[in-house]
Structure 1
Amino acid sequence: MSWLEFVPSLAVAVAVLFGPGLALGLSIGARRLTLWAIAPAITVAFLSLLAIVYGGIGISWSLLPVAAAVIVIAVPIAIVRQLLRGRIGRPDRPESVLSGWTVAGLGLAAVVIGAQLVVGLQAPDRISQTFDAYFHLNGIRYILDTGSASSFDIQGLVLPEGQRPFYPAGWHAVASLVASSGIASIPVAVNAVSVVIAALVWPAGCLLLMRSLMPRSRTAALATGVLAAAFPAFPIMMLTFGVLYPYFLALAMLPAALGLGFAIGQARSLHGSGTLFRCVLLVLALLGIAFAQPAGAFAWAAFVLPLVLWRAVPAITRLGGVRRIVWWAVLGLGLVAFAGLWIWFGRIGANTPWIAYTNLLGALGEALFHGFKASFPSIVPCVLALIGVVDLIRRREKLWFVATWAVSIVLFVVAAGGPSWKLRAWVDGIFYRDPPRLSALLVITAVPMAVFGVVALWRFVQRRAGSRLAPGSATARALAAASLAVLLIATQANPAMWTQLGLTIRAYTDAADAPILSGSERKLIERMPEHIPADALVAGNPWTGTPFAYALTGIRMMSPHFNSYLYPEAKIINERLNEALEDPAVCDAVRSAGVTYVLDFGGYFKDAGETGLEIDGTTPYLGLRDLAEAGVGEEVDREGDAVLYRITACD
């Protein structure tokens, strides 16, 4: 598939991710950058809630019912808002002088990140060679098959009837709508959503965040466009490691929510015009983030906490008597409650295998220069971020944001170099104690801090040049354009970025030695409908890429994921199918489950996400090997070393 053929899928992904949010945000009263930046989070919140409602009442999940719901909800809201106009807080006045610079910043980021993804993905229909991709791509197929994208239903992909725990399915609701359009296969739909999130959602949020920190700086708008694409750890690494599509979406939406939170927290009065409006948008944004990945909502709270304390402590200190005691108690109880929730939700990471791989000092160096696990550091953007830190401290401006930046540093340092398992569980359990997740989170604060550094350097140059560099002069414009070009080249043509792009290329390869699914194996999968009934059930070692058969063809797999518990007979089939002629219990299990075919992709596999885990993906599936030699199965189709067998021993 060519990139030109990819354009319609990309357009559908833009419409799905932005359309509902733009309509609903516009009806509430959002405008221009605020509307554009917050629309994806509103979309995810709306689609996630709508999917639960539709799943409960039996309405099939597709574009038309979703579009109808958008109209039914947006129009009345817009009417009510017009009737109440003047009685409720108005939204911000739209940008005027900054609008053109904002568009330029958005365009810069979109082009650069888009180019990175073209290089990294190599083709629009490539599949991530990572173990988590099984669940996400097959989850989309499951939604298309069942007609439900509810967070209470999607676990039916891997769990038996009656076991339906809640799983935040915001990303799956979005991606499945793109796939339901019929113009894109599931891999193409997934990649279209990824490109839109990385190239459009993320930069818009960064610009809204920067506007809350430096509302009138044109330099900041342009620098944000370049620096949003300057850190390898996000967005490009999150499409390589894992692959963590839901977490990737949550982090991309996080800057917009932070921008709203910082705007509210910096307001002179919380009773001022527009505060209620921002609060409504913020609640919707946080709901969208939580439905993508709840860790993102907790990260928002941790990043906003320094500003809350910065405003609350002086305000409480100025109070007198009993009121001061009461508000100190309220603040203290609030902090204790937040810490308790952080640790309680962090139990999800209590048993994860990710270990600390360095000491505290080494982790601090990695956090400051983004050189993770001895990879190349991101010198230019990280030096700019440190300049920003020094400048804010020197001028005693926005010191609370320096503390926010420090929070992200601490979270990573504890995950990568924490000396105590319990400490790492308490601090980073909600992020599964996983250093790569925290390295991506670092970028959320590093981008605006690096922008502060750029603005500080530009301010220094202007002071030294004096009248020769008057704002708006031809000389100033020429120097600004040249500086921007140098910054762009310096952040892109560096070993750190190209090393990460190399890892991404490897994670989306379809070569013969691909980590999980080779090109020949995929060709065999795509021919399966020519040989197999649509209602067939197929066995296969899930570590070797066989689960992708469900996403690519719709043919059911006995093991659609390596953590699948659909069939109690799976264990005996996986371990002893090649003994079916000697052991009648094997054929009993085969008939009970209804398995009729086997995909044999050998025993080679390697997660391209570079998790470093030692996994035994061979021993539990030895029964699926050498079926023809054992007289248990006959070859139906072959592509290279990949073979499709029909089980004959149990006829």
Structure 2
Amino acid sequence: MTDATWLDLVLPLLAATALLLVPGVVATAALRVGLVARVAFAGVSGVVSIGVAGVLAALVGLPFAPWQPLLPAAVILGVSMLLRRRRPRTDLLPRERVRWWWLVAVGIASTAVVVLVAFAHVPGPDRISQTYDNVFHLSAIAHILQTGDGSSLALRTMIETTRTFSYYPAAWHDLVALTVQLSGAPIPVAVNAAWVAVCAVAWIPGAAWLAQLVARSSDGGIVALIAMPLAACSGAMPFALLGWGSLYPTFVATAALPVAVGIPFAAWIHRRDRPRDAGTIIALVLAFGTACAAVALGQPRVLATLAVILVPFFGAVAAVAFLRAWRAGGRSRRRAVVAVATGSGVLVAAVVVGFLYAVVRLGLFSRPLESRLGGGQARATQSVADGLIQVLTQTWLTGIGTATAPALLVAVATAVGLFALARTPGSRWIVVSFLALAVLFALAAGSDAVVTKLLTALWYKDRYRLSSGLPVLGVALATVGILFLARLIGRRAVRWRPAIAAVLAVATTATAVLALGATSAATGFVFRLPSVHAGDAVVSRTEAAFFARSSGIIPAGERVLGDPWDGSALSAVFGGREPVFAHVNGQFDADRLVLAYNLDEIGSNPAVCRALDALRVRFVLYDPHQLDGGDPSGNHFPAVHRAVDHGLFERVSRAGDTVLYRIDQCGPLAAR
């Protein structure tokens, strides 16, 4: 493992940005929108194009390649052109009257703030998040690169080895794999580049576009200049998801949420202002489907966050429409009653289907509810009141359990924004949605009651997943709060200089709180790289470098055996040799189970050699440490340790604690 400098991030960052923007711009070419919306829509559409391309390439037998996302993008463009009755007559938003280069410059500066906060304590871009979830994510990227299969329909077969199809959302892993192919960067560098690129072209412009919609009475360009720095300095998104997990798929899906939330709102605004412009509404309906697909291809469970945010909006729109039709009487009233009855029936049917799925598929009643969702991510560690105070003061939990200092200026701006929108007809639903997410977060973090588990089950009762949804609306709220205060200063006319000065003060103090406090320190700890002894991390520097050198000993096409809890699961990431166990958890086939539980019987049990031959294994990677102290549910790979402790294999090479052993008892592997 070599030491990379942060300059080595530039080329893969450009590659990841191009992979998102180029197909995204093609897919959204039919929409007539401002610059901020153009970038946000393109970033989200790029996620969809990449995820869909991975599925389609696998179905037709093509190895996954960087040019393929252009095909789904062209299809999206073609469909949008066919569905529109005519070209939309006007922009969806007030014109962005500031110079375009100001928007670009502030967007780049905001991205730089994200990089500063996230990686202030990380020496180089080749570091990995040393966390449980990231073992799977890194192995999945290596699996795509080795097999050429980037399909979400089969990604989970990497750890469910008895199945041909097993869904796991692959958009994140596909983006990183294509970044590796396009830039030639190592997987760890490509991971960090892709993370920054998603922040730059999806999260930051998406949050700014939603703020433009919410503050639609103000100039869209100025609103974006205020909102983009605020999106870059929220502790709950994107930083908490980087330190906890690390939850890269959830991060991608959450980055797409502002666009997914904003599109129905934009359609409602546009329909109200220009009821005859059907072309724009049809284009927005297609765009909403694309945004939902981006969320689903990132992490489908984030659709639950989208639902919590949009249910109050759709409820408010439906209530207004029903009351208008009721007052009109006659046929309009009858249609309204039928629509309410139909909608109620669909809602009841959805609840019944969801309940049956929970009973039949998830085994809702197979064990008591109170015994579920009790793992580390779900266990309450504070009170519900503490969670509400954290939302009120913009104090956010980090991935290692510490909390940031309060971002008081952001808190004030958000509170003022809540007050302003509560007084604004057509925008009160935002207040309801934000408060609903706040309550769910506080419950997940502060209560282990059965009702809490039911309410937060779709998020695994994970406070980090729930808290990451709050900035989706929080950025717009803080932006509105700053504009509201600027209007007070200007006596109903917004004075831009005070507004810009205010956002600079808010963003600077919030960034300092994160960078000098718990957020940067937490990510620095998660991305630590022990020198020789890995301790409770996944791998050490010595171990990762040893994996790379071992590829010169282990023949290509052979797998390597090891306990995945000791870092051997990453042998493909650092050494290009596929591990027998690519993750610390999974549902493995009979041959793998024989090696996990009976490897030490190699001299007396013929099934061991048969399994080694079937999986093409003749080498064992071994390191005495275990990630986070080992599997809390028990040791599921005991025979690997017993075989090494009994000295059954020939030692070939060693570096620090890590040893490569050769298995001689079964003879050489047959040639393919």
TM-score (norm. length: structure 1): 0.88
Q: Does structure 1 residue 533 correspond to structure 2 residue 555?
A: yes
1:416 to 440, 445, 451: 445
Q: In 1, distance between residues paired with 2:183 and 2:323?
A: 61
Residue 41 (structure 1) aligns with: 44
Equivalent residues in 2 for 1:515-530, closer than 5 Å: 515-530=537-552
Matches within 5 A, 1:440-455: 440-455=468-483
Q: 8 Å contact 2:45–2:290 — kept in the other structure? A: yes
Q: Summarize the Cα distance change of 1:209–1:152 in structure 2 as closer, same or farther, 3 Å threshold.
A: same
Give the conservation status (yes or no) of the 8 Å contact 1:23–1:70.
no
Matched, 1:488 2:491: no
Residues 136, 172 of structure 1: 8 Å contact kept: yes
Kept in 1, the 8 Å contact 2:209–2:224? The answer is: no
Q: Is the 8 A contact 1:219 1:455 kept in 2?
A: no
* Contact 2:156–2:166, Cα closer than 8 Å, also in 1: yes
- Secondary structure in structure 1 of the residue aligned to 2:67: helix
CA-to-partner distance for each residue in 1:432-453, whole Å, 9 max, x for gaps? 1211111111222222222222
CA contact (8 A) 1:632 1:648 kept: no
Q: Which amino acid aligns with 1:257?
A: A
- Answering whether residue 78 of structure 2 is matched by residue 58 of structure 1, we say no
SS of aligned partner of 2:483: helix
* Paired residue type of 1:221: A
Q: Does the CA-based 8 Å contact 1:360-1:418 persist in structure 2? A: yes
Aligned to 1:86: 86
Q: Which amino acid aligns with 1:135?
A: F
Aligned to 1:222: 225
* CA-to-aligned-CA distance 1:553-605 (integer Å, 9 cap, x gap): 32121111122344423334334534545666655544454421111111332
Q: Provide the residue aligned with 1:642 in structure 2.
A: 658
- Structure 2 matches for 1:264-303, cutoff 5 A? 264-267=267-270, 268=272, 271-273=275-277, 274-303=280-309
Say if 1:574 and 1:620, in contact at 8 Å, map to a contact too: yes
**Post-superposition offset of 1:633:** 1.3
2:438 partner SS? helix
Alpha-carbon shift at residue 196 of structure 1 (Å) = 0.6
Instruction: Report the residue type matching 1:306 in the other structure.
Output: P
TM-superposed CA distance for 1:495, in Å, is 6.0
Partner of 1:508: 527
- Alignment counterpart, residue 577 of structure 1, candidates 577, 595, 599: 599
Q: 1:333 aligns with which of 345, 348, 356?
A: 345
Alignment of 1:356 onto 2:399: no
1:619 aligns with 2:631: no
1:245 equivalent among 245, 248, 253: 248
Question: 1:326 Cα deviation (Å)?
Answer: 2.2
Tell me if the contact between 2:21 and 2:43 (Cα under 8 Å) persists in the aligned partners: yes
Q: What's the CA shift for 1:133?
A: 1.4
| TM-score, normalising length: structure 2 | 0.86
Could you tell me how far 1:146 is from its partner in structure 2?
Answer: 2.2
Picking from 626, 640, 652, the partner of 1:604 is 626
Which residue number corresponds to residue 108 of structure 1? 109
Structure 1 pair 388–343 and aligned structure 2 pair: CA distance change class (3 A)? farther
Partner letter of residue 596 of structure 1? R
Tell me which of 411, 418, 428 is aligned to 1:399. Answer: 428
The alpha carbon displacement at 1:356 in A equals 3.0
For the Cα contact (< 8 Å) 1:544–1:602, is it kept in 2? yes
- Measured against aligned partners, the alpha-carbon deviations of 1:244-296 in whole angstroms (never above 9, x if no partner) come to 11110000111122121221233416844222222221111111111111122
Task: State the secondary structure of the residue aligned to 1:228.
Answer: helix
Decide whether aligned partners of structure 1 residues 96 and 270 sit closer, same or farther in structure 2, where only a CA change above 3 A counts.
closer
Letter of the 1:643 partner, please give it. Answer: V
Task: Give per-residue Cα distances to partners, 1:73-118, cap 9 Å, x unaligned.
Answer: 478569868xx77377765378341454644542332121122234
Contact 1:37–1:201 (8 Å) recurs in 2? yes
Q: Determine if contact 2:483/2:499 at 8 Å carries over to the other structure.
A: no
Cα deviation, residue 145, structure 1: 2.3
Q: Which residue is equivalent to 2:213?
A: 212
Equivalent position SS for 1:246 = helix
Question: How far apart, in 2, do the equivalents of 1:400 and 1:61 lie?
Answer: 42
Per-residue CA deviation, residues 29-58 of structure 1 (Å, 9 max, x unaligned), is 555222211112212222322322221111
Instruction: Give the structure 2 partner of residue 610 of structure 1.
Output: none
For the residue of structure 2 that corresponds to 1:598, the secondary structure is strand
In structure 2, relative to structure 1, the CA distance for the partners of 1:508 and 1:537 (3 Å cut) is same
Correspondence 1:260 to 2:253: no
Q: Say whether 1:174 aligns with 2:191.
A: no
Quick one: which of 579, 601, 616 aligns to 1:557?
579
Are the counterparts in 2 of residues 359 and 418 from structure 1 also a CA contact under 8 Å? yes
For 1:328, the aligned partner's letter is V
Match of 1:129 in 2: 130
- The 3-state SS of whatever aligns with 2:490 is helix
Q: Does the 8 Å CA contact 2:26/2:74 hold for their aligned counterparts?
A: no
CA pair 376-582 structure 1, distance change in 2 beyond 3 A: same
Letter in 1 for 2:523: T
Pick aligned residue for 2:456 from 419, 423, 428:
428
1:15 to 18, 27, 43: 18
Counterpart contact for 2:379–2:448, Cα < 8 Å: no
Q: Judging changes above 3 Å, is the alpha-carbon distance between structure 1 residues 371 and 16 closer, same or farther for their aligned structure 2 residues?
A: closer
One-letter code aligned to 1:636 = V
Residue 651 of structure 2 aligns to a residue whose secondary structure is strand
How high is the sequence identity, in percent, across the aligned residues? Answer: 27
In the alignment, the residues of structure 2 paired with residue 648 and residue 329 of structure 1 have an alpha-carbon distance, to the nearest angstrom, of: 72
Aligned partner of residue 37 in structure 1, secondary structure: helix
Note the residue ranges of structure 2 that are not aligned, 5 or more in a row.
365-371, 668-672
Distance 1:28 1:456, change over 3 A: closer
Shift of 1:632: 0.9
> Is the deviation greater in 614-623 or in 594-603?
614-623
> What residue in structure 2 maps to residue 159 of structure 1?
160
Instruction: Quote how far apart the aligned CAs of 1:480 are.
Output: 4.8
1:183 corresponds to: 184
- The residue type paired with residue 555 of structure 1 is R
Q: 1:565 to 1:87 in 2, by over 3 A?
A: closer
Query: Hey, what's the Cα distance between the residues in 2 that align with 1:428 and 1:503?
Result: 25
CA contact (8 A) 1:541 1:621 kept: yes
Unaligned runs of 5+ in 1: 608-613
What residue identity is the alignment partner of 1:411? L
Between stretches 392-401 and 637-646, larger displacement belongs to 392-401
Aligned partners of 2:202 and 2:381: how far apart in 1? Answer: 32
How far has the Cα of 1:378 moved from its partner?
3.0
Q: 1:329 to 1:506 in 2, by over 3 A?
A: same
**Which whole-Å deviations, capped at 9, do the CAs of 1:596-616 have from their partners, x for residues lacking one?**
111111133229xxxxxx834
Between 594-603 and 7-16, report the one with greater CA deviation.
Answer: 594-603
- Letter in structure 1 aligned against 2:429: W
* Contact in 2 for aligned 1:32/1:94 (Cα 8 Å): no
Q: Quick one: which amino acid aligns to residue 296 of structure 2?
A: A
Counterpart of 1:434, as a letter, is D
CA 222–359 in structure 1, closer or farther in 2 if over 3 Å, else same = same
Contact 2:120 2:515 in 1 (8 A): no
Change (3 A) 1:340 1:200: farther
Q: 1:316 aligns with which of 299, 314, 322?
A: 322
SS of corresponding position for 1:632: coil
SS in 1 for 2:469: helix
Amino acid in structure 1 at the alignment position of 2:560: V
One-letter code aligned to 2:584:
F
Q: Distance in 2 between matches of 1:5 and 1:256?
A: 31
Distance 1:316 1:619, change over 3 A: closer
Q: 1:497/1:89 Cα in 2 relative to 1: closer, same or farther (>3 Å)?
A: farther
Question: What one-letter code is carried by the residue in structure 2 that aligns with 1:167?
Answer: Y
Distance 1:398 1:616, change over 3 A: closer
Residue number in structure 1 paired with 2:670: none
Match of 2:139 in 1: 138
